[in-house]
Amino acid sequence: MKGSISVILLSGGQGSRFQSNLAKQYHTLKEKPVALYSFEKFLQIQGVVEIIVVTAPEYQHLFSDDNKKISFALPGKKRQDSSFHGFQKISNKQGIILIHDIARPLISLSDILKLIEAAKDYGAATLATPVISTIKQVDKNFCITKTLDRQELWNIQTPQAFHYDILAQGFNELIQNPREVTDDISLVEHFHPNIKIVEGSSKNIKITNPEDLKIAEALL
* Contact assessment for residue 201 and residue 129, using Cβ atoms and an 8 Å cutoff: yes
Is residue 19's pLDDT more than 70? no
Q: At what angle do helices 79-88 and 164-176 cross, to 10 degrees?
A: 130
Q: Tell me, what DSSP letter sits at residue 143? A: -
Q: What length does the chain have?
A: 220
Is residue 129's pLDDT more than 70? yes
- Domain-wise residue ranges, the chain: 5-219
Residue 18's pLDDT is 61
Alpha helix ranges (H) inside the chain: 34-43, 79-88, 109-122, 164-176, 210-219
Instruction: Read off the pLDDT of residues 69-113 as tens digits, 9 standing for 90 and up.
Output: 999 999 999 999 999 999 999 998 999 999 999 999 999 999 999
**Mean pLDDT, residues 150-173 taken together:** 98
Is residue 14's pLDDT more than 70? no
- Nearest-CA neighbor of 39 among 84, 105, 86? 105
Model's pTM, two decimal places? Answer: 0.94
Residue 136 makes CB contacts below 8 A (sequence gap 6+) with: 144, 145, 146, 147, 148
CATH of domain 5-219: 3.90.550.10
Whether residue 159 is preceded by a cis peptide bond, meaning omega within 30 degrees of 0, is yes
Instruction: Read off the pLDDT of residues 26-73 as tens digits, 9 standing for 90 and up.
Output: 999 998 999 999 999 999 999 999 999 999 999 999 997 677 899 999
Q: How far is residue 103's CA from residue 217's CA, in Å, rounded to a whole number?
A: 13
For the chain, first and last CA: distance in Å? 35
Higher pLDDT, 210 or 164: 164
